[in-house]
């Protein structure tokens, strides 16, 4: 009986703890059917659908498109056909109204095959679609979201700049309100923009761009920043360059984009209100970082599968190399670290409300753990495969290169450590 282990608790509380609920189950009982990773039949169907899609359509093209450093637009539109491009958007605007667990499932499954393609999916579905769905006006959502959810529009988000990365509030891009009060005039540049280009010469279609609307350049208060819709074809909006020869994520287009006196009507292109962008930015960063952590899971899972299978089949000194302790350590440590990260990711996802912020410590924490974990696990897979791990045939060298971006993009490891330390201090340094 539980009460024998808690003798210092008052008898009345002991009785409450060991009592049974209205359904006759102990309050400490755990349902055998509970699944942290696919908690509902809808989630299970989603995982099965995406995994099947990955096996049939994503995996066959992954190596070729990465080698060519090309974005697969046709495959991207297929994501729209199965309801993923607008997975968190309202159904009335063409979305699927899914939750954070569903976001993790989709990103884990896609990145197990092609993290670069998944990164473009993330930038579109979360940095643009989810952001606009939560913060845009009904008119803005009705105009852009239906085509974004089908993939007819390719969307992205502009936050980082050549001189402002982790210090995002040091951005120099500026939007000045015109004298007539009806338009902003946008000037500046954004860097490292996923989906910033469709190809070497053509911009993506539509972007949510953060800009300073008051105050002086340099780190500043939250009320000095606003969010704008910027579309391809606007006078003064141009592609600086598509960034090639990246270490990894080569099938995801990255670009620098420029704004030279781009005129943005207040009534249609200001998202929310002037000065309220930072709170929306921080809220959207939470789901972005959770999704990047889920991508890390996909990379780690695939790497473990490859090295485990290879170690079983590869013979050395008369036996399978998985009989050697050095190899067992690579596989065993990798599995344990992956399993711990997966539990953390889905635990955070189950409690995340996409309409609210305030979960930064764990969105930072889960990415801080999972991103370097994926790089480490993929590196171990390369080591286990030896020379075969160093070439493209087994995919782990590509996964290793792709994984490194997750330690930088969406917040560096160091920025997460800074945020976690700050948030712990605010909480009185007490953990639940």
Instruction: From 40, 47, 136, 114, select the one nearest 87 (Cα to Cα).
Output: 47
- Beta strand spans in 235-331 (E): 237-242, 254-265, 270-271, 315-316, 319-320
pLDDT for 10 equals 44
Q: What is the pLDDT of residues 222-275, one digit of tens each?
A: 669 999 999 999 999 999 999 999 999 999 999 999 999 999 999 999 999 999
Whether the Cβ atoms of residue 420 and residue 364 lie closer than 8 Å to each other: yes
73 counts as catalytic:
no
Whether the Cβ atoms of residue 393 and residue 386 lie closer than 8 Å to each other: no
Tokens of 36: 């942290």
Share of the chain above pLDDT 70, in %: 90
Whether the Cβ atoms of residue 100 and residue 354 lie closer than 8 Å to each other: yes
DSSP 26: B
In this predicted structure, the answer to whether residue 320 has a pLDDT above a threshold of 70 is: yes
- 166 or 72, greater pLDDT: 72
Please compute the mean of the pLDDT values over residues 18-44 and round it to a whole number: 65
In this predicted structure, the answer to whether residue 21 has a pLDDT above a threshold of 60 is: no
pLDDT for 358 equals 86
Q: Tell me the C-alpha distance between 347 and 27, whole Å.
A: 20
247: Cβ contacts below 8 Å, ≥ 6 apart: 401, 404, 405
Decide: pTM greater than 0.85.
yes
Instruction: From 304, 293, 310, 302, select the one nearest 330 (Cα to Cα).
Output: 304
Catalytic residue among 108, 109, 161, 288: 288
Q: How confident is the model at residue 84 (pLDDT cuts 50, 70, 90)?
A: very high
Q: What residues does 212 pair with on adjacent strands?
A: 174, 225
pLDDT for 405 equals 98
Q: Tell me the C-alpha distance between 188 and 157, whole Å.
A: 14
Please compute the mean of the pLDDT values over residues 191-218 and round it to a whole number: 90
Domains, in order of start, for the chain: 41-153 (1.10.540.10), 156-275 (2.40.110.10), 278-426 (1.20.140.10)
Q: What is the pLDDT of residues 174-203, one digit of tens each?
A: 999 999 899 999 999 999 999 999 999 999
Please compute the mean of the pLDDT values over residues 77-91 and round it to a whole number: 97
């Amino acid at each position: 009986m539980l009460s024998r282990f808690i003798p210092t608790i008052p008898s009345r509380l002991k009785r409450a703890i060991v009592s049974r609920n209205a359904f006759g189950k102990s309050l400490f009982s755990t349902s055998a059917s509970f699944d942290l990773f696919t908690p509902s039949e809808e989630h299970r169907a989603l995982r099965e659908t995406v995994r099947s899609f990955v096996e049939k359509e994503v995996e066959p093209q992954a190596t070729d498109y990465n080698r060519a450093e090309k974005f697969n637009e046709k495959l991207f539109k297929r994501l729209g056909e199965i309801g993923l491009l607008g997975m968190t958007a309202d159904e009335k605007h063409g979305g699927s109204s899914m939750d954070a667990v569903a976001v993790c499932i989709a990103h884990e499954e896609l990145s197990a095959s092609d993290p670069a393609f998944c990164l473009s999916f993330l930038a579109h579905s979360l940095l643009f679609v989810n952001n606009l769905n939560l913060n845009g006006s009904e008119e803005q959502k009705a105009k852009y979201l239906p085509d974004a959810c089908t993939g007819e529009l390719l969307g992205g988000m502009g936050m980082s700049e050549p001189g402002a990365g982790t210090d995002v509030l040091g951005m120099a891009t500026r939007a000045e309100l015109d004298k007539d009060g009806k338009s902003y005039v946008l000037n500046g540049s954004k860097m490292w923009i996923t989906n910033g280009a469709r190809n070497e010469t053509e911009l993506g279609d539509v972007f949510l761009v953060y800009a300073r609307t008051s105050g002086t350049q340099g780190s500043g208060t939250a009320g000095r920043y606003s969010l704008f819709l910027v579309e391809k074809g606007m006078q003064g909006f141009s592609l600086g360059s598509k960034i090639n020869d990246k270490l990894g994520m080569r099938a995801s287009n990255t670009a620098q984009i420029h704004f030279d006196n781009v005129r943005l009507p207040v009534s249609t292109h200001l998202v929310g209100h002037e000065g309220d962008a930072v709170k929306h930015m921080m809220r959207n960063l939470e789901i972005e970082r959770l999704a990047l952590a889920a991508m890390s899971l996909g990379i780690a899972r695939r790497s473990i599968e490859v090295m485990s299978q290879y170690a079983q089949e590869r013979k050395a000194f008369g036996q399978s190399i998985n009989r050697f302790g050095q190899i067992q350590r690579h596989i065993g440590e990798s599995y344990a670290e992956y399993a711990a990260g997966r539990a953390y990711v889905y635990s955070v996802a189950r409690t995340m409300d996409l309409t609210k912020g305030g979960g930064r410590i764990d969105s930072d924490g889960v990415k801080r753990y999972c991103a370097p974990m994926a790089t480490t696990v993929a590196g171990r897979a390369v080591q286990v495969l030896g020379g075969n791990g160093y070439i493209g045939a087994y995919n782990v060298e590509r996964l290793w290169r792709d994984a490194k971006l997750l330690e930088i993009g969406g917040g560096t490891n160091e920025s997460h450590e800074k945020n976690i330390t700050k948030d712990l201090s605010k909480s009185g340094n007490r953990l639940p």
